[in-house]
Structure 1
Amino acid sequence: MRKTIPTIRIIQVVQYINECNVKRILPLKKDIISHIKNQFPDEIYNVQQFDRDKLKIREELGIDLKCNKKYQYYIDSSDQVGLLESSLDYYEMFSILTQANALPDIFWISDRKSLGLNQISNVVSHINNKHVIQFSYSKYDTNETEVRTIEPLAIKESKERWYIIGNDHKLDKGLRAFGFDRISAVTYFGINFSPKYTLNEIKAKYDSLFAMFDAENKEVEEIILEFDQRDGNYIKSFPIHHSQMIEKTENGVRVTLKLKTTPDFIMEIMSRAWSLNVVKPVSLRHEVSKILKDAYLRNQ
């Protein structure tokens, strides 16, 4: 029997404690041990092993498992729960794939790969050092390439693509996102900068959007959509947006969202156009209707 890679096991420990905490449950040590034994029934797991794993979790993942006076465990992740969960998922998959050479046939990796990821570590260094950077940027709409000089502030993933979020050093027109797949030749511009935006301000901006690109002439508004049962089940399992609320209807589901109606958002809901019904706002209903009518005329 192939033994479990220790990294996979310690990720399971953290994930279990985090999942309990999200449900406002603080698991005891015996609960954690029981869970891990159920996950890996062919291996011995006891108190001593758990104590060793706690040290590895601190050293390898940078997470300090804490317990209260009742010896109930929790993770003090403040408002970074989403980041913690995503990071653990990536780390677990990486750990699994490192042992895939023994079982190559069961892993089918998509041929669609996000480009430019080899530049992330370089950009992270520039962000940490407050370096103004310069790079070549290819525009999708015109196929033109331009040189951009940016004050990089953060890195964000959206829909399996990665982006630099920053402020244009010369134009100073507010936060912009630049896809790594369209960036090349990242260099230090030779000067440093003082950030004009906090991470909380950046988060607040992108929390109001679907995907990455803003419609600055629009406000956040309540959006109500209806879908049939099949699409509703898909949307339940893979939410459109973190603001999503779902209720059952006679023929399917009603989805309520609060965000801006950007082109990216419209493209997303149009992917389920066969059952989509826009209840509100009326402006979005008219826009979707026009897109469908134009598509019908093109394809007659």
Structure 2
Amino acid sequence: MKKDFYLTRYALIIKRLENSPATYSQLKEYLLNSFEFQDAGIKSYSIRTLQRDIREISNLFNLSIHNKKKGDNRYYIESRPIMEVDEYNQKLLESFQVSNALNVHPNFSNFIFFETRKSTGAENFYDLFFAIRNKRVITFEYYNYKNKLMTARKVHPLALKESKDRWYLIASDTNDKVLKSFGLDRIHYLDVNKTKFKEKYKYNFREHFKNAFGVMNLAEQNPERIVLKCSKHQGEYIKSFPLHQSQKEIKENPNETFFEFFLHPTYDFMQEILSYGKEVTVLEPKSLVDDIQAHLQESLNAYLNCT
């Protein structure tokens, strides 16, 4: 069996067992009939390989798979990880499935098309992760889009946050002791110092970002109830890909769908709503309605000035 195929096997086993328990024979049939196995030319899957895969799945994904039910020889997932680990697992599985498709077919450029984009700064990801875990002071040069200047920064790194396919470093700036976010794509000349910082920060970032949209909510703010009215067509897209974990559908009629959110009405969220144009309207709170109206009026004025 191909040595570089193990991650794909793990993803397929988890996918099958998340659907329902299965015997070794059922798992073997499922795997061998999968397009992944067919494309790789794999025609066998032994019980020893399954047992080894189960051990590795437990180590890698924190998923416990057993087949010790009384009178039942089916394998099943005994335990589910906590939410944050489950999110990590989903990311890993998605990455494995995509990377395997690309590895099996080197000529994928004729079939798969990625968005053209510049570097996201992921080359610094592990160094930052190491610095956070070991409480190392870091220094770097940071590019500011507003003033188009590079500035020297010295920070205490605390967390990494993903938002809209970008990664951000959350850190305390040693200059003013303020919590800030730094886009990894704008960090240059990163240096992880040997010096450790001694400050004991008490931020609970999972709670901190629970009611945030993006990474803009680094100050203490109170989340608000936000109500959106969407066209029926756009509402279906928002149902299938929620804007935020607090999203709830509260009403529906033949032409419109209404959603409720509980979050901070940040600039990031306003930009997201504006991207839907006339398909989405904010009904509450009034402060957000006023902000969007003012923004739309400024945009209209800018176009009127072009004539």
TM range (shorter): 0.7 to 0.9
1:197 — aligned with what?
Answer: 201
Q: Secondary structure at the match of 1:163?
A: strand
CA distance in 2, matches of 1:6, 1:259: 41
CA distance in 1, matches of 2:131, 2:219: 28
Equivalent residue in structure 1 for 2:245, among 242, 247, 259: 242
Letter in 2 for 1:85: Q
CA distance in 2, matches of 1:62, 1:217: 34
Letter in 2 for 1:65: S
- Unaligned runs of 5+ residues in structure 1 are 21-25
Q: Secondary structure at the match of 2:113?
A: coil
State the 1:271 CA deviation.
0.5
The answer to whether residue 89 in structure 2 is matched with residue 90 in structure 1 is: no
State the 1:66 CA deviation.
3.1
State the 1:72 CA deviation.
3.2
State the 1:225 CA deviation.
0.1
Do the aligned partners of residues 281 and 154 (structure 1) sit closer, same or farther apart at CA in structure 2, a change above 3 Å counting? same
Mapping of residues 141-290 of structure 1, within 5 Å: 141-173=146-178, 175-194=179-198, 196-197=200-201, 201-214=204-217, 216=219, 218-246=221-249, 247-290=251-294
Residue by residue, what CA displacement relative to the aligned partner does 1:141-191 show, whole Å, maximum 9, x if unpaired? 222222111111222211010111222234222x32210111101113442
CA distance in 2, matches of 1:116, 1:14: 31
CA distance in 2, matches of 1:54, 1:207: 33
State the 1:138 CA deviation.
1.3
Contact preservation (8 Å) 1:218, 1:261? no
Equivalent residue in structure 2 for 1:72, among 50, 73, 76: 76
1:109 — aligned with what?
Answer: 114
2:72 — aligned with what?
Answer: none
RMSD: 2.8
Letter in 1 for 2:197: F
State the 1:75 CA deviation.
4.1
Residue by residue, what CA displacement relative to the aligned partner does 1:49-73 show, whole Å, maximum 9, x if unpaired? 43232234346x3544333752532
CA distance in 1, matches of 2:252, 2:299: 30
Do the aligned partners of residues 118 and 215 (structure 1) sit closer, same or farther apart at CA in structure 2, a change above 3 Å counting? closer
Letter in 2 for 1:263: Y
Please identify the structure whose Cα radius of gyration is greater: 2
Letter in 1 for 2:246: S
Task: Give TM-score, length-normalised by structure 2.
Answer: 0.83
Residue by residue, what CA displacement relative to the aligned partner does 1:227-282 show, whole Å, maximum 9, x if unpaired? 10221121122211111112423312111111100000000011012222211111
1:23 — aligned with what?
Answer: none
Q: Secondary structure at the match of 1:223?
A: strand
Contact preservation (8 Å) 1:149, 1:189? no
Contact preservation (8 Å) 2:61, 2:89? no
Do the aligned partners of residues 122 and 240 (structure 1) sit closer, same or farther apart at CA in structure 2, a change above 3 Å counting? same
CA distance in 1, matches of 2:253, 2:194: 59
State the 1:46 CA deviation.
6.1
Equivalent residue in structure 1 for 2:139, among 131, 134, 147: 134
State the 1:217 CA deviation.
6.6
The answer to whether residue 10 in structure 2 is matched with residue 10 in structure 1 is: yes
Q: Secondary structure at the match of 1:212?
A: coil
Q: Secondary structure at the match of 1:9?
A: helix
Contact preservation (8 Å) 1:223, 1:258? yes
